[in-house]
Amino acid sequence: MGSRRKDRVASFIKDEMSRAIIFELKDPRIGFATVTDVEVSGDLRYAKVSVSIMGEEKVQEKSIRAIRHAGGFLQKRLARTMASRTVPELSFELDDSVKKSIRISRKLKGLQENE
């Protein structure tokens, strides 16, 4: 399967999931969430959706649980909008790259101050 098609499918899923999470999920447990990345398997059967959520760890865990709980709804919504015979099975994971980058920048800043 061409990587160009895989990239197009990933981009489409990212856009659709972003819209759905922001505008269609009415769950109060979901905080400020952003879809940061989508990885699609080579056979286009599976897609891992990375979601960044602002707030403390408890808020993030509640939000990702609520998004996972709405997975069936999100899967059906994707199936309705995606012009493909097969729709990738979605899995949602918490993206903590922002937290990691903040931690790294603090360490670097501490190293600079020590010099």
Q: What is the pLDDT of residue 103?
A: 77
For residue 58, CA distances in Å to 18, 22, 30, 69 come to 22, 20, 11, 16
Element spanning 53, H or E: strand 46-53
Query: Per residue in 9-53, pLDDT tens?
Result: 999 999 999 999 999 998 888 888 999 999 999 999 999 999 999
pTM of the model: 0.81
Domain ranges in the chain are 3-114
Between helix 57-69 and helix 71-81 the angle, nearest 10°, is: 60
Q: Are 53 and 59 in contact (CB under 8 A)?
A: yes
Q: Which of 36, 59, 47, 64 is nearest to 9 (CA)?
A: 47
Which CATH code fits 3-114?
Answer: 3.30.300.20
Residue 43 main-chain phi, psi, to 5 deg: -90, 5
User: Mean pLDDT in the chain?
Assistant: 89
pLDDT tops 70 at residue 71: yes
